């Protein structure tokens, strides 16, 4: 498994070295932000830009835990992310954030390293933008002395989870962009009935409606016989509006995913749109020149 990913990453890097993204005219901004809704987009930050981000996922809008009793989820916080990304070069972004966590592991400190290998050419060159991401999450919640629980953390290493993604995006026109995201999540500690590694495929698109307003959608399909609706797992699916006023991207969305970190929402989405278990969420992102 690890060998396949190593080969995939090496292959991407080889292609990257042979086609430097800076050497020709490239399509600009396949997506407006470095995230779509739940998934990362192919975009990296320009060099020396700091992106301060705050994301929020409220409680269920409807269903047993929603409705008037929770003011349609607004009184609950399924997950909250506070963090920052920084563009080291135009093609390399690093990020650090903290999420509350919505799965069995909580108080997550997440890091990510994102590298744009290929840029989509305007008239020639690559037909797609290709970006790879490696991320880690460490659960910083208290150790609980119960070996039945994941939070017993027998070893420090058991607090760690990792995710790897290859984002392949194409801007088809000024209005429409599409992205595929094969990914892999590895959790160091899972229950006996679960599996450590989980492959997934993300699908995202962006439809630009006006100069400042776009419609975004993403979904991530986990490939595992253990992640089926019969077992109570659902595909994390989000739809949203994105408002870009220049230096300030505001996103409001609806999603059934509760977590914000990839190692959290990809294996742990147990909310069903059909049962009203989707929530409102938003992201505020502000760019600073450093």
Partner 1 sequence: MKKIIPIFLLLPLLGLLSLTEFSNSLGNIDSQKPVREVLTALGEPQPDHFISSMPAKASIEIGENIVFTGTAESVSLQSPHFVCTSCHNVEKEFADLRDTDPQKRLEYAVENDLPFLPASPFYGIVNRTSWYNGDYEKKYGDLVIPARKDLRAAIQLCAVECSQGRLLKNWELESVLGYLWTLELKMEDLAIPENEYPKFENGNSKNTASLIADLKSYYPQSSPAHFVTPPEDRRTGYDVVGNAENGEKLFNHSCLHCHQDQRYSFFELNDSKITKKFLGKHFPKYSRYSIYQVSRHGAPSHPGKRAYMPQFTKEKMSDQQIEDLRAYLE
| Residue 287 binds to partner 1 (criterion: CB under 8 A) | yes
Quote the least distance from Cβ 33 to partner 1, whole Å: 12
Number of residues in contact with partner 1 under rule CB under 8 A: 20
Tokens representing residue 158 in the block: 């058991």
In the bound complex, what is the minimum distance in angstroms from residue 245's beta carbon to partner 1?
8
Quote the distance between the C-alpha of residue 25 and its chain's center: 28
Question: Both tokens of residue 117?
Answer: 């290998």
Q: How far is the CB of 189 from partner 1 (least distance, A)?
A: 41
Nearest to 135 by CA among 226, 261, 4: 261
Q: State which residue, 29 or 107, has the beta carbon closest to partner 1.
A: 29
Instruction: Give me 250's structure tokens.
Output: 């505001």
Question: Which 190-229 positions form the footprint of partner 1 (CB under 8 A)?
Answer: 208, 210-212
- Shortest Cβ 167–partner 1 spacing (Å): 20
User: How does DSSP classify residue 193?
Assistant: T
Phi, psi of 131 (to 5 degrees): -135, 140
- Cβ(30)–Cβ(43) below 8 Å: yes
Contacts of 70 (CB under 8 A, 6+ apart): 59, 60, 76
Q: Closest separation between CB of residue 289 and partner 1, Å?
A: 4
Among residues 29 and 270, whose Cβ is nearest to partner 1? 29
The pair of three-digit structure tokens given for residue 269, joined into one six-digit string:
């989405």
Is residue 147 at the binding interface for partner 1, with CB under 8 A as the rule? no
In the complex with partner 1, the residue whose CB is nearer, 40 or 208, is 208
> Site residues (CB under 8 A) for partner 1?
28-29, 46, 48, 174-175, 208, 210-212, 244-248, 286-290
């Amino acid at each position: 498994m690890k060998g396949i990913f190593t080969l995939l990453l090496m292959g991407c890097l080889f292609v990257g070295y042979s086609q430097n993204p800076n050497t020709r005219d490239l399509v600009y901004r396949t997506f407006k932000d470095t995230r779509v809704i739940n998934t990362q987009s192919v975009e990296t930050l320009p060099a020396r830009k700091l992106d301060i981000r705050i994301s929020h996922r409220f409680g269920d809008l409807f269903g047993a835990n929603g409705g008037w009793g929770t003011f349609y989820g607004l009184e609950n916080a399924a997950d909250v992310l506070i963090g920052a990304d920084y563009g080291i070069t135009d093609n390399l972004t690093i990020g650090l954030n903290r999420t509350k966590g919505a799965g069995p592991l909580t108080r997550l400190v997440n890091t990510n390293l994102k590298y744009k290998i290929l840029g989509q050419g305007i008239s020639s060159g690559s037909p797609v933008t290709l970006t790879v991401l490696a991320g880690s999450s460490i659960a910083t919640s208290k150790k609980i002395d119960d070996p039945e629980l994941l939070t017993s953390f027998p070893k420090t290493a058991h607090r760690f989870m990792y995710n790897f993604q290859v984002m392949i995006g194409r801007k088809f026109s000024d209005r429409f962009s599409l992205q595929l995201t094969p990914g892999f999540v590895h959790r160091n500690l899972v229950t006996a009935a679960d599996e450590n590694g989980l492959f997934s495929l993300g699908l995202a698109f962006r439809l630009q409606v006006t100069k400042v307003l776009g419609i975004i959608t993403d979904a991530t399909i986990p490939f595992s016989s253990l992640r089926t609706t019969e077992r109570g797992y659902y595909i994390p699916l989000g739809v949203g509006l994105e408002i870009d006023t220049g230096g300030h991207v505001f996103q409001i969305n609806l999603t059934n995913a509760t977590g914000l970190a990839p190692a959290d929402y990809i294996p742990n989405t147990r909310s069903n749109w059909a049962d009203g278990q989707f929530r409102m969420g938003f992201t505020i992102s502000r760019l600073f020149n450093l």
